[in-house]
Amino acid sequence: MTKCLVIGACGQLGTELTAGLRSKYGINNVIASDIHPPEGGVKDAPFEILDAMNFDALKSIVEMHQIDTIYHLAAILSAKGEQNPPLAWSLNMTSLLNVLNLAKENNSIKIFWPSSIAVFGPTTPKDNTPQDCIMDPNTVYGISKLAGERWCQYYHEKYGVDVRSVRYPGLIGSKTLPGGGTTDYAVDIFYKVLQGEQYECFLAEDCILPMMYMDDAVEATIHIMEADKPSIKVRTSYNLSAISFTPAELYQEIKKQIPEAKITYNPDYRQNIANSWPNSIDDSNARKDWGWKHTFDMKKLVEVMLSELEPKVASM
């Protein structure tokens, strides 16, 4: 039985991945960790306070719990990263290198580390963006993810580290709010609409971006980590895709269920970031190599988000 450590377990993805791993491997086989305790306190499940920039602290938690698999999710995302580029670079790179160095010392530790569509840039092909193409990210987050992908491949080739990665699109889930990304509008809109308020979107109505419902993201993550080693042929990071839509298309789908929903558009600095990212992604390598497939289209995503958030927003 595997023993996992999730770093960044209180974040948007971390919360739902930790729950997914626990239902699969058992509560006590998944150690959640974050720099802050979870909102609402630590429940009856293993949790450690961990600053992933501190190698010794990381090592001692891994040894204490006899961890064999690390999901390293802690990062500063695209929009927030632009407000403090040195901090974003330092956190994103130091924490990744700490985890890679630990696995270099002990090759039996397997690592998952997420990359992102932010590795692409203004001269990347926009439609059906291939796995291998020009990558010229112009955010500190994107630069750190691209550098991180190269480090993952380097540690795999030079030191035999079994590190696996996917380039997530914008992730949409109901459990926890996203923390400072360019795709966050696609979560924020649900809260405003359910609160009966008009939503002011910080991206333009026709800004198309690749997106994914959280359950698909969790499934992809567990799936790539469980795949046989020889099937993992990409050791930088796999393109991963589900759906692409614009704010206007998402709004229209929401409006089918909540006819009084209202939206206005007031693009800010995040529009420039979005403009540099793909419209859609070719993820045929992931589908071919380890059998990835998504299950949520936009209609299903909207239905589930509204039904899960309705009671939560009512009790806020």
Residues in touch with ligand SER (CB under 6 A): 77-78, 116-118, 141, 168, 170, 181-183
Q: Measured from the CB of residue 72, what is the shortest distance to ligand SER in angstroms?
A: 15
First-residue to last-residue Cα distance in the chain: 39
Beta sheet of 115-116, edge-to-edge order: 115-116, 166-168, 238-239
d(C-alpha 236, C-alpha 9), whole Å: 23
For 78-87, b/e burial (b = at least 16 CB within 10 A) is: bbbbbeeeee
- To ligand SER, the closest distance from the beta carbon of 183 in angstroms equals 4
The DSSP secondary-structure symbol of 22 reads H
Decide whether 141 or 245 has the Cβ nearer to ligand SER: 141
Q: For residue 111, give every residue at least 6 positions away whose Cβ sits within 8 Å of its Cβ, in sequence order, or none.
A: 69, 70, 71, 72, 99, 100, 103, 152, 161, 162, 163, 164
Name the residue whose CB lies closest to ligand SER.
181
The minimum distance between CB 256 and ligand SER, in angstroms, equals 25
How many Cβ atoms sit within 10 Å of the Cβ of residue 134? 12
Rounded to a whole number of angstroms, the minimum distance from the CB of residue 243 to ligand SER is: 14
Selected catalytic residue, list 141, 155, 185, 213: 141
3-state secondary structure of 274: helix
Q: Residue 98 and residue 112: Cα distance in Å, rounded?
A: 13
In the complex, minimum distance from the CB of residue 70 to ligand SER, in angstroms, rounded to a whole number: 20
Classify 151 as helix, strand or coil.
helix
CA 173 centroid distance within chain: 11
Strands (E), the chain: 4-7, 30-34, 47-49, 69-72, 110-112, 115-116, 163-164, 166-168, 170-172, 199-201, 209-213, 238-239, 243-245, 263-265
Residue 8 or 181 having the CB closest to ligand SER: 181
Report DSSP letters for 239-250, one per residue: E---EEE-HHHH
Name which of 183 and 241 has its Cβ closer to ligand SER: 183
Q: Of 22 and 142, which CB lies nearer to ligand SER in the complex structure?
A: 142
Q: Left (φ > 0), alpha (ψ -120 to 50) or beta: where does 283 sit?
A: alpha
Mark whether 168 is an active-site residue: no
Kindly tell me which of 11 and 20 has the beta carbon lying closer to ligand SER: 11
Least CB distance from residue 79 to ligand SER, whole Å?
Answer: 6
State which residue, 20 or 81, has the beta carbon closest to ligand SER: 81
Q: What residues act catalytically?
A: 141
